[in-house]
């Protein structure tokens, strides 16, 4: 697994926090579209998605295959790549859980925002280790260019 950093513009940071607050107490989720440059990965657009876990939305999220394909098409239409996913942890730290690890795909950046009592708190990003044994923290840095939300 290549170590790197995730560049996030203020607009995208604000967008993820806003989505987390809006969907509280349920988990919010969506795709992150951008450019993968190897060591640096730049997020450009958020693609919010419906949380398909209607049975347990307070502590689970799910993006089905149709929504995955829609996110891929959205990326392609913009000349971007599907580089990661964001979701929130209502009233829980922005640390990946065992469930997150069991269900993660390699390569993607997984951004988590903690939302406490409806207020967005810390935000972190992670990548799954190649052997699936753990997540590796991915530093988030401020992007130079302005980014837009969908």
Q: By the 8 A CB rule, do 49 and 71 touch?
A: yes
Question: Are the C-beta atoms of residues 149 and 16 closer than 8 Å to each other?
Answer: no
Report, in Å, the least distance between residue 1 CB and another protein: 8
Kindly indicate which of the ranges 4-12, 101-109, 117-125, 138-146 contains the residues binding another protein, using the contact rule CB under 8 A. Answer: 101-109
* d(C-alpha 31, C-alpha 103), whole Å: 16
Residue 10 near another protein by CB under 8 A = no
Beta-bridged to residue 60, according to DSSP, are: none
Per CB under 8 A, the list member of 63, 123, 140, 143 interacting with another protein is 63
Q: Quick one: 27 or 147, whose CB is closer to another protein? A: 27
The answer to whether the CB of 17 falls within 8 A of the CB of 124 is no
Q: Single out the residue of 18, 21, 78, 81 in contact with another protein (rule: CB under 8 A).
A: 81
Q: Which of residues 120-139 bind another protein (CB under 8 A)?
A: 130-132
Question: CA-CA distances (angstroms) from residue 60 to 18, 28, 75, 95?
Answer: 18, 9, 25, 14
According to the binding rule CB under 8 A, does residue 44 interact with another protein?
A: no
Ramachandran class of 118: left when φ > 0, alpha when ψ lies in -120 to 50, beta otherwise: left
Interface residue with another protein, options 3, 37, 105, 146 (CB under 8 A): 105
The residues binding another protein (CB under 8 A) are: 27, 29, 53, 56, 59-65, 68-69, 81-82, 85, 87, 89-90, 92-93, 96-100, 103-108, 110, 130-132
């Amino acid at each position: 697994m290549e170590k790197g950093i995730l560049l996030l513009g203020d607009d995208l940071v604000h967008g993820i926090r806003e989505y987390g607050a809006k969907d509280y107490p349920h988990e919010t989720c969506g795709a992150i579209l951008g450019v993968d440059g190897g060591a640096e990965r730049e997020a450009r657009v958020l693609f919010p998605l419906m949380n398909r876990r209607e049975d347990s939305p307070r502590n689970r999220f799910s993006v089905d295959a149709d929504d995955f394909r829609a996110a891929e098409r959205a990326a392609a239409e913009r000349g971007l790549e599907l580089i990661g996913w964001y979701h929130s942890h209502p009233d829980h730290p922005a640390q990946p859980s065992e469930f997150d690890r069991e269900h993660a795909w390699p390569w993607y950046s997984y951004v988590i925002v903690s939302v406490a009592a409806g207020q967005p708190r810390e935000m972190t990003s992670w990548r799954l280790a190649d052997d699936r044994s753990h997540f590796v923290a991915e530093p988030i840095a401020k992007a130079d260019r302005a980014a837009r939300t969908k």
